[in-house]
């Protein structure tokens, strides 16, 4: 199973990082962790180096004392002055009001919450240092809840860092922990000097200099260069991070190249008969598109090798990925091995099951079926089929990776809608091969892995970021599809939409209506699926209108789904459970309610449920602005993109533009470490540098390379392999 080494702490934060000295005293029993320590660990700040690499979000300037008369409205200021007046006001709301004069002007300090200690420090006549956001109030200038202390004392020589933190981790504690981590961490160079100025837009400073500076910049720095991360110190950090990412990907690729997988070279012993693949092709009711043929050939080449395949098959919704997967499965089974296909939802898994059984069973292939909702008896039968090897193909949900599932000889793992799975789940599926004892030689055996997705990663991003992934792309839709017309319609025009539904129903077509929420929970104003279902049922009397949402029992979901798939049900109101992969070619209208609340790729996926047959299809994006006069900019950009293009790759590109690559990747690769500092679009030059350097480092400086990856990714590097 999974074996992720937890990084051994360089200097364990055994007790409080502030509490130096206590560490090591208690040998027998580790002292209990304080809440702040736990919060540190939750942020991933375990080692000294993790703390040193925890960089400020922004800075505060406490290095200067300003004159009140010079302070601008809204500015964050620090000034010193004398307390002239102090009173507790009890009119309207109890509050402490203190007037301070710095010689140039006066300022009112307002405290809505306060303790006796406040009054004591801020007593009349005292000289105090005050920090806060100054406002021109009703009766003159004021600061609400300023920080304050007695005047005097040294001013810091550097800007004060403000770190990203979480609940239970006070900024002051974090600051000290980072400071002590920074002082202890090993910051020795891992990048050989000759590479540091190679092809760089500007020479890079040392890691130590960069970190010292970023944690405590001198006050004369141009703040803009810190904010846009163009400062040489930032450049160094981003270069480091990108190098770590490239190194670990390349390492993973090399590790994989050293692993063995069964070479699926063709039928075991079938004499002159055609291969299963050929038989399957013959039975298909359609011809493969050129793209399907090309991609199929790419996969075939991989499967014939004794190195595990690691391939992402991306293709727009409806591009026909399933048949490509079926052909790969047929090749695997033909060679005498088992294939597993895992899908994220039961509905989708069942749809695959139906389709693949239809294709493969006539060829004599036994298919097993695994889901969470299965009856024990059926489950037991399936497990037996899988363990004996009788089942050539196993289709299911997450149930496929449960411990109890033993394959006889798994050689190909296919993951549909792979972005819906976490890295750990992918790893678990790959590890399923090692249950087998007869065919295993030593360690190092892995099944071939085929991942499928309809939310493509833009090519440049895939090539540069996922160095350990081969990508096949279905860039052509099967013939005979008519493009989907997309319209953005205000919620106020619902009646027109319902009239349109009536028209479609009269023509024997089917309609999806998707709503974002199931019940009135988070926000009352969202019309929910249940309500919409009732409203539509009332507006379209005598017609069968189904309701599907994730909280329904599985059996009920299945019943509704099969009525819709079978064509008896004209309209299906649903939450986003239908998002992935559902295939009902007769459906020609997709209505998405509160379209402004959905992400772009999700909208595109939903739209892909229609336009699967020959009939002209449409997608209506119903939006509502709520109380706002108009839609927000991001929402408008999304809806506009939907109207303007049907092309999944273009959608992905726009999505990237709207959201930025960090979030873009984050949404898809749950679990994979994201880039914290670098930005793949703006730091293309640094990325190119890192990509060129990574193989050199691995070949010539493997120890440095290893230290570098460990420093940056710690125990997380293992995850990158998935
Ligand atoms: P997706 O790539 O979104 O998973 P599917 O595999 O579900 O798409 O295919 C969508 C529909 O297109 C299915 O009904 C499938 O049978 C059909 N299909 C696939 N390939 C072809 C083809 N070459 N010609 C015609 N129809 C095809
Ligand atoms: Mg699919």
Ligand 1 neighbour 320 (Cβ under 6 A): yes
317 CA distance to ligand 2 middle (Å): 7
Mutate to test the pocket of ligand 1, among 313, 320, 343, 580 (most ligand atoms within 8 A of CB): 320
**Ligand sitting nearest the alpha carbon of 609:** 1
**What CATH number does domain 484-645 carry, 3.40.50.720, 3.40.50.920, 2.120.10.30, 3.40.50.300?**
3.40.50.300
Are 359 and 280 within 8 A, CB to CB? yes
Are 244 and 49 within 8 A, CB to CB? no
- Per-residue pLDDT reduced to its tens digit, 457-481: 766 666 666 667 788 999 888 887 7
Domain ranges for the chain, please list them. Answer: 9-59+159-186, 64-150, 291-474, 484-645
pLDDT for position 528: 73
Is the CATH number of domain 64-150 2.40.50.140? Answer: yes
Q: Residue 54's Cα: distance from chain center in Å?
A: 21
> The tokens 């012993």 sit on which residue?
269
Tokens of 611: 């336009």
pLDDT for position 525: 39
**Ligand sitting nearest the alpha carbon of 608:** 1
Kindly compute the dihedral angle of the four CA atoms of residues 209, 215, 220, 221, in this order, to the nearest 10 degrees.
Answer: 70
Ligand 1 neighbour 612 (Cβ under 6 A): yes
- Per-residue pLDDT reduced to its tens digit, 573-604: 988 766 555 778 899 999 999 899 888 888 88
- For 291-474, give the CATH class: alpha beta
Flag residues of the chain having pLDDT under 50. 1-27, 436-443, 518-526, 664-673, 717-722
pLDDT for position 12: 34
680 CA distance to ligand 2 middle (Å): 29
Mutate to test the pocket of ligand 1, among 354, 478, 606 (most ligand atoms within 8 A of CB): 478
Are 373 and 397 within 8 A, CB to CB? no
State the first-to-last Cα distance of the chain, in angstroms, to the nearest integer. Answer: 13
601 CA distance to ligand 2 middle (Å): 15
Are 159 and 125 within 8 A, CB to CB? no
What letters, b where the CB count within 10 A reaches 16 and e where it falls short, cover 659-693?
bebbebbeebbebbbebebbebeebeebbebbbeb
CA distance linking residue 295 with residue 56, whole number of Å: 46
pLDDT for position 520: 44
Atom 14 of ligand 1, nearest CA residue = 583
pLDDT for position 443: 47
Tokens of 286: 């359609």
Ligand 1 neighbour 318 (Cβ under 6 A): yes
CA distance linking residue 566 with residue 574, whole number of Å: 17
Mutate to test the pocket of ligand 1, among 318, 327, 453 (most ligand atoms within 8 A of CB): 318
DSSP string across 335-360:
TT-EEEEE-SSHHHHHHHHHHHHHHH
pLDDT for position 490: 93
Ligand 1 neighbour 317 (Cβ under 6 A): yes
Atom 19 of ligand 1, nearest CA residue = 320
pLDDT for position 233: 93
Which atom of ligand 1 is the closest one to the Cα of 583?
A: 7
Ligand 1 neighbour 323 (Cβ under 6 A): yes
CA distance linking residue 194 with residue 197, whole number of Å: 7
- Decide if 64-150 and 291-474 have a common fold: no
Atom 20 of ligand 1, nearest CA residue = 320
46 CA distance to ligand 1 middle (Å): 48
146 CA distance to ligand 2 middle (Å): 57
434 CA distance to ligand 2 middle (Å): 28
pTM metric for this prediction: 0.67
Atom 17 of ligand 1, nearest CA residue = 320
CA distance linking residue 624 with residue 626, whole number of Å: 6
Ligand 1 neighbour 286 (Cβ under 6 A): yes
């Amino acid at each position: 199973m999974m074996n992720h080494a937890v990084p051994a702490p360089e200097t364990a934060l055994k007790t409080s990082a502030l509490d130096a000295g206590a560490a090591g005293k208690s040998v027998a029993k580790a002292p209990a962790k304080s809440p702040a320590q736990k919060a540190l660990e939750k942020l991933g700040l375990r080692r000294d180096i993790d703390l040193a690499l925890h960089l400020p979000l922004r800075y505060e300037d406490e290095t200067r004392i300003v004159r009140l008369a010079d302070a601008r409205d809204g500015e964050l200021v620090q000034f010193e002055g004398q307390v002239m007046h102090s009173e507790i006001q009890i009119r309207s709301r109890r509050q402490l009001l203190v007037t301070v004069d710095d010689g140039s002007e006066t300022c009112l300090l307002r405290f809505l919450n306060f303790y006796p200690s406040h009054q004591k420090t801020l007593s009349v006549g005292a000289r105090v240092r005050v920090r806060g956001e100054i406002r021109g109030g009703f009766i003159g200038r004021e600061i609400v809840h300023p920080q304050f202390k007695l005047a005097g004392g040294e001013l810091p020589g550097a800007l004060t860092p403000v770190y990203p933190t979480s609940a239970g981790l006070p900024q002051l504690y974090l600051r000290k922990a980072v400071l002590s981590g920074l002082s202890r961490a090993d910051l020795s160079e891992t990048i050989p000097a000759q590479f540091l100025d190679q092809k760089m837009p500007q020479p890079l400073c040392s890691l130590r200099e960069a970190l010292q500076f970023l944690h405590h910049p001198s006050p004369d720095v141009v703040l803009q260069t810190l904010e846009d991360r163009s400062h040489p110190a930032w450049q160094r950090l981003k270069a480091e991070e990108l190098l770590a990412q490239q190194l670990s990907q390349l390492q993973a690729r090399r590790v994989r190249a050293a692993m063995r997988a069964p070479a699926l070279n063709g039928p075991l012993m079938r004499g002159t008969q055609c291969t299963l693949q050929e038989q399957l092709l013959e039975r298909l009711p359609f011809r493969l598109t050129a793209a399907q043929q090309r991609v199929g050939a790419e996969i075939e080449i991989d499967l014939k090798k004794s190195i595990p395949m690691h391939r992402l098959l991306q293709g727009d919704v409806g591009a026909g990925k399933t048949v490509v997967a079926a052909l790969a499965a047929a090749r695997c089974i033909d060679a005498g091995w088992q294939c597993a296909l895992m899908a994220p939802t039961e509905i989708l898994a069942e749809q695959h099951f139906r389709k693949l059984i239809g294709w493969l069973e006539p060829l004599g292939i036994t298919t097993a079926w695994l889901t969470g909702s299965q009856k024990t008896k059926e489950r037991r039968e399936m497990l037996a089929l899988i363990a004996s090897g009788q089942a050539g193909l196993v289709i299911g949900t997450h149930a496929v990776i449960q411990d109890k599932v033993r394959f006889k000889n798994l050689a190909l793992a296919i993951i549909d809608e792979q972005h819906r799975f976490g890295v750990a789940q992918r790893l678990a599926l790959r590890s399923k091969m090692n249950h087998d004892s007869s065919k295993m030689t030593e360690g190092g055996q892995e099944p071939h892995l085929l991942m499928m997705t309809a939310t493509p990663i833009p090519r440049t991003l895939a090539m540069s970021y996922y160095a350990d992934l081969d990508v096949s792309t279905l860039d052509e839709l099967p013939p005979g599809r008519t493009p989907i017309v997309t319209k953005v319609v205000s919620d106020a025009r619902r009646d027109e939409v319902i009239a349109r539904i009536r028209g479609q129903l009269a023509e024997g077509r089917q309609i999806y209506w998707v709503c974002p929420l199931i019940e009135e929970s988070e926000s009352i104003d969202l019309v929910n699926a249940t309500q919409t279902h009732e409203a539509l049922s009332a507006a379209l009397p005598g017609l069968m209108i189904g309701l599907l949402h994730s909280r329904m029992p599985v059996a009920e979901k299945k019943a509704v789904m099969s009525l819709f798939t079978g064509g008896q049900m004209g309209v299906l109101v649903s939450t986003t459970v239908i998002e992935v992969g559902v295939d009902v070619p007769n459906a020609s209208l997709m209505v998405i309610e509160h379209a402004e609340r959905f992400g772009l790729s999700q909208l595109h996926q939903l739209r892909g449920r229609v336009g699967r047959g020959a009939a002209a299809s449409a997608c209506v994006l119903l939006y509502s602005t709520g109380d706002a006069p108009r839609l927000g900019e991001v929402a408008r950009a999304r809806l506009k993109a939907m109207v303007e293009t049907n092309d999944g790759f273009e959608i992905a590109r726009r999505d990237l533009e709207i959201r930025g690559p960090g979030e873009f990747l984050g949404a898809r690769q749950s679990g994979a470490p994201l880039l914290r500092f670098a930005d793949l679009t703006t730091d293309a030059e640094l990325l190119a540098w890192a990509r060129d350097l990574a193989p050199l480092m691995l070949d010539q400086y493997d120890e440095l390379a290893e230290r570098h990856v460990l420093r940056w990714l710690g125990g997380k590097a293992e995850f990158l392999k998935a």
